[in-house]
Amino acid sequence: MSLGISAEEYKRRTDIVLAKMAEEGLDAFVFWNNTSVLYLSGFSFIPTERPICMILEKSGRKTVFVPRLEVEHAGKSREISEAISYPEYPGTEHPLKALGKALEKMGLGKATIGCDAIGYGSTKGYSGPLLSEVLPGAKFVVLRTLVEEIRVIKSPEELALIRESARWGNLGHALLQEYSLPGSNENDVAMRASLEATNMMIKTMGDSYDPHAMGGASVAAGFRGQIGPNSALPHAISVNAVMREGDVLVTYSCPWVGGYTSELERTMFVGEPNAEQRKFFAYMLEIQETAFENIGPGRKCSDVDKAVRAVYEKHGITEYWRHHTGHALGMLNHEAPFFDTGDDTVMTAGMVFSVEPGLYVPGLGGFRHSDTVLVTETGMEILTYYPRELDRLICG
């Protein structure tokens, strides 16, 4: 199977959306969410203050509404029939007013139109009217998670891209481990590992490689500040730390291939770990194994997190708990559903999750492995495969 999303796959996705639109009696659907637009058309763009959307008509025709600077870019997608453009934001005429006129010209002035939001939203200085204000004769139905719900089950083509991502995550992580030595700077190690792994991926995959990533390294590998005492902060921020003998490292390697990613994280040690570090590492492995044992079709996502929380309680280590067990992923590094006590979604074959329960001990360090797993017809498959045993995760 060649890597990438085929025309047949885009048609399959679009047909599912069109069927749901028919159930709701919709004449068209306006997608603002850039991930949804990418999923249905292959058009990947950077959201800014300039409104961008895709209009899917019940005929299957796909039209994008873009600023002038995106016209040629949008034209690269074979799935898009037409690009309607406006000059710039805010411009002399607000882009949403231009969109209202475009929808009217498309014969949708009095239509029933679905949308994932009633207007464009951005944290980058945007303000503007709602769709209902620029097209007052139409009826709007907000279905915020229409595409998100479809994306939960991965197709064979999507799984091939996630598996390929996991392969390169292995290399990124091997390089992190090789370069994490006493006296090393965290940013130097992360950038070196990311660059070398990315270059090797590009050379190996050749013309078939397209990250569809929104900037940054295609193999992003590093620590995000989780070094030494800071490893006890689950979402630490880089402090440009220098690694020292005895430091606990919590690492990540998340490559992008064809718009899809995997997640690989490991707890490593700079030099020989002490007895306390070994004890909490063993707890962490037991907790992750418990999560694996509770993943499978027909089970609830909440069952996984409840089983994990029971292990914390058994060992009296609940004070070191900080977050749920994992989350779905694919086109985004965090997607729904979640391995959380409050998420009763039933697992189905084709779902892909991270499994990353952790322990965070102030003054000692953080202990977290993350693996990407696939729910199968009979259980689950671990897609990431870097060593998990402590003695294979000592640097130097």
Is residue 212 over pLDDT 80? no
- Locate 226 and state its tokens: 């989780």
Reported as a pLDDT band with limits 50, 70 and 90, residue 34 is: very high
Residue 208 has pLDDT above 90, yes or no: no
SS3 for 80?
coil
Q: Say what the pLDDT of residue 213 is.
A: 56
pTM tops 0.85: yes
Domain borders along the chain are 7-151, 156-395
Per-residue confidence (pLDDT) for residue 167, from 0 to 100? 95
Residue 215 has pLDDT above 60, yes or no: no
DSSP 301-348: HHHHHHHHHHHHHHHT-GGG--S-SEEE-SSSSSEEEEESTT--PBP-
Query: How many whole angstroms separate alpha carbon 155 and alpha carbon 169?
Result: 21
Q: Average pLDDT for residues 80-87, to the nearest whole number?
A: 97
Average pLDDT over residues 190-213: 86
- Strand ranges in 69-136 using DSSP code E only, listed in sequence order: 82-86, 112-115
- Contact criterion met (CB below 8 Å) for 212 and 301: no
- % of the chain surpassing 90 pLDDT: 93
With a cut of 80, say whether residue 211 has pLDDT above it.
no
pLDDT of residue 207: 75
Please give the residue that has the higher pLDDT: either 317 or 259: 317
What is the sign, positive or negative, of the torsion defined by CA atoms of 171, 172, 173, 179?
Answer: positive
pLDDT digits (tens, 9 = 90+) for 355-371: 999 999 999 999 999 99
| Higher-scoring residue by pLDDT: 1, 103 | 103
Read off the DSSP letter of residue 155.
Answer: P
What is the fold of 7-151?
Answer: Creatine Amidinohydrolase; Chain A, domain 1 (3.40.350)
For range 60-88, the mean pLDDT: 96
Give residue 216's pLDDT band: very low, low, confident or very high (50, 70, 90): low
Task: State the pLDDT confidence band at 396, using cuts at 50, 70 and 90.
Answer: confident
**CA–CA distance, 319 with 253 (Å, rounded to integer):** 28
> What integer best gives the mean pLDDT of the chain?
95
Residue 130: the pLDDT is: 97
CA–CA distance from 282 to each of 47, 272, 279, 286, 295 (Å)? 43, 15, 5, 6, 21
Give me the architecture of the 156-395 domain, per CATH.
Alpha-Beta Complex (3.90)
Please report the pLDDT score of residue 279 as a whole number: 98
